[in-house]
């Protein structure tokens, strides 16, 4: 029998170097092995299994990685260079097995860590970036088109109608004459803006599908895009589900809140939920009351969705309708 005490544990092998058992070690035992000492686990293993009959014959040898020799109940624990080749191969094989197992476990852990809310958070951040790029692109396009179509450029400022203006090249009003070279460049700029808009629509469709499948109550009450933004601001679906309604109401208003604390400015009444139709359709004096009602309902929807409750969209909508009055 061969015993190899390593950082991987004690490997018990047969004479061909095949690992039969791996016994883990605690830190104190590892330190003792590093000092070249035998530990009780080694001695106990040497006295079992293939070496058991040595207690009567006194001829059994257990080969160790350590060079010194000792005897334990008629068993000689020794080191033999001829056995070291077995040991080296076994250690390499065992290390490779552990490496493959660690890779497999890491892959499983990474896969388990990717949940719908992390994907939704990435998507909504990408959506924000697309919207910034699209707005910048439309501003550039509008500025350039204003040289040739000043009235229409001003009328449709920041609108995707500008891309149609670049492609169609209507009769000029009072602007400068446009050369085909400039026309081609404007059309390329318009095509980029259209591609950004299509990407934005695709992301919104993805968010709608993902949120309706994984958080149907929250998606129905807040809307898919706002639901994803709330999840991102809270730091995940679990965090959103655990937040009190008063905190949900203020998500997105952190800068205004800190400004209030720092300078004494008026405190904010609500965060991004102010953009919800439930609040927008009300007169300004009702915004605070409706924001509280909406935040309370959103908080309830998030809890039900996170803890895999039932579909209670109808009850939540009725609850909101009652609190309108």
* CATH code, 161: 1.10.287.4070
Say which DSSP state 271 is in: S
Number of H helices, E strands in the chain: 16, 6
Domain closes at, from 214, 235, 264: 214
Q: What is the mean pLDDT of residues 15-27?
A: 75
| Three-state SS letters, 46-87 | HCCHHHCCHHHHCCCEEEECCCCCEEECCEEEECCHHHHHHH
Whether 44 and 6 map to the same domain: the answer is yes
Q: Are residues 102 and 8 in the same domain?
A: yes
Q: Which of 53, 77, 111 is the last residue of a domain?
A: 111
- Strands 70-72 and 75-78, bridge-based pairing: antiparallel
pLDDT at res. 170: 65
Tell me: do 107 and 10 sit in the same domain.
yes
What is the rounded distance in angstroms from the CA atom of residue 152 to the CA atom of residue 148? Answer: 9
Top pLDDT among 206 and 21 is at 206
68/13: higher pLDDT: 13
Range with lowest mean pLDDT among 125-129, 238-242, 319-323: 319-323
CATH at 294: 1.10.246.90
Question: What is the average pLDDT value for the chain, to the nearest integer?
Answer: 81
Q: Are residues 275 and 292 in the same domain?
A: yes
Bridge partners of residue 21, in order along the sequence? 12
**Looking at the chain, how many residues does it have?**
325
Note down the domain range covering 155: 115-214
Do 278 and 252 lie in one domain? The reply is: yes
Which pLDDT does position 54 carry in this prediction?
35
Contacts of 33 (CB under 8 A, 6+ apart): 5, 25, 39, 66
- How large is the average pLDDT for residues 20-48? 75
pLDDT band at 42; cut points 50, 70, 90 = confident
- Rounded Cα distance between 243 and 250, Å, is 11
Residue 75 pLDDT greater than 70, yes or no: no
Q: How would residue 61 be classed by pLDDT, with cut points 50, 70 and 90?
A: low
Mean pLDDT in residue range 109-133: 89
Counted domains in the chain: 3
Tokens at 104, concatenated:
């497999």
Is residue 292 over pLDDT 60? yes
The residues, ordered by sequence, that sit 6+ positions from 154 with a Cβ below 8 Å of its Cβ are: 146
Where residue 81 sits, what CATH number does that domain have? Answer: 3.30.420
Of 18 and 261, the one with more pLDDT = 261
Segment 254-272 shows an average pLDDT of 85
Confidence of residue 32 (pLDDT cuts 50, 70, 90): confident
Binned at pLDDT 50, 70 and 90, residue 47 comes out as low
Q: State how far the alpha carbon of 162 is from the alpha carbons of 174, 206, 214, in Å.
A: 17, 27, 37
Same domain, 120 and 196: yes
Give the model confidence (pLDDT) of 210-242 as tens digits: 999 999 999 999 999 999 999 999 999 999 999
> With the C-alpha atoms ordered 174, 179, 180, 186, is the resulting torsion angle positive or negative?
negative
Whether 52 has a pLDDT exceeding 50, the answer reads no
Q: If pLDDT is split at 50, 70 and 90, which confidence band does 114 have?
A: confident
Q: In the listed set 92, 111, 130, which residue is the last one of a domain according to the structure? A: 111
Residue 78: pLDDT above 80? Answer: no
Which burial class, exposed, middle or buried, applies to 70 when counting CB atoms under 10 A from its CB (0-12, 13-18, 19+)? Answer: middle
Task: Tell me how far apart the alpha carbons of residues 136 and 154 are, in angstroms, rounded to a whole number.
Answer: 16
Where would I find the beta strands (DSSP E) of 128-257? none
The answer to which of 12-16, 45-49, 192-196, 246-250 has the lowest mean pLDDT is 45-49
pLDDT at 130 over 90: yes
Q: What is the pTM of this model?
A: 0.66
Q: Are 131 and 200 in contact (CB under 8 A)?
A: yes
């Amino acid at each position: 029998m061969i015993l190899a005490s390593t950082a991987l544990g004690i490997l018990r092998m047969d004479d061909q170097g095949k690992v039969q058992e791996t016994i883990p070690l605690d830190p104190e035992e590892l330190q003792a092995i590093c000092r070249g000492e035998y530990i009780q686990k080694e001695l106990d293993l040497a006295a079992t299994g293939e070496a058991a009959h040595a207690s009567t014959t006194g001829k059994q040898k257990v080969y160790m990685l350590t060079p010194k020799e000792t005897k334990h109940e008629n068993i000689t624990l020794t080191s033999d260079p001829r056995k070291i080749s077995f040991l080296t191969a076994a250690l390499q094989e065992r290390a490779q097995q552990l490496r493959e197992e660690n890779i497999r476990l890491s892959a499983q852990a990474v896969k388990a860590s990717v949940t719908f809310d992390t994907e939704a958070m990435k998507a909504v951040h990408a959506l924000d970036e697309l919207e910034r790029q699209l707005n910048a692109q439309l501003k550039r396009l509008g500025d350039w088109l204003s040289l040739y179509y000043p009235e229409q450029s001003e009328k449709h400022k920041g609108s995707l109608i500008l891309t149609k203006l670049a492609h169609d090249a209507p009769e000029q009003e009072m602007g400068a004459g446009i050369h085909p070279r400039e026309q081609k460049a404007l059309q390329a700029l318009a095509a980029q803006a259209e591609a950004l808009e299509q990407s934005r629509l695709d992301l919104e469709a993805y968010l709608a599908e993902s949120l309706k499948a994984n958080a149907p109550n929250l998606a129905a009450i807040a809307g898919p895009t706002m639901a994803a933004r709330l999840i991102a601001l809270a730091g995940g679906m679990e965090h959103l589900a655990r937040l009190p309604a008063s905190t949900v109401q203020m998500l997105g208003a952190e800068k205004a809140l800190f400004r209030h604390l720092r300078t004494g400015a008026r405190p904010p009444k609500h965060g991004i939920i102010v953009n919800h139709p439930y609040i927008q359709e009300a007169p300004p004096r009702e915004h605070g009351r409706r924001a509280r009602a909406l935040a309370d309902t959103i908080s309830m929807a998030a809890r039900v969705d996170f803890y895999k409750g039932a579909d209670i969209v109808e009850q939540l909508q009725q609850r909101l309708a009652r609190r309108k009055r």
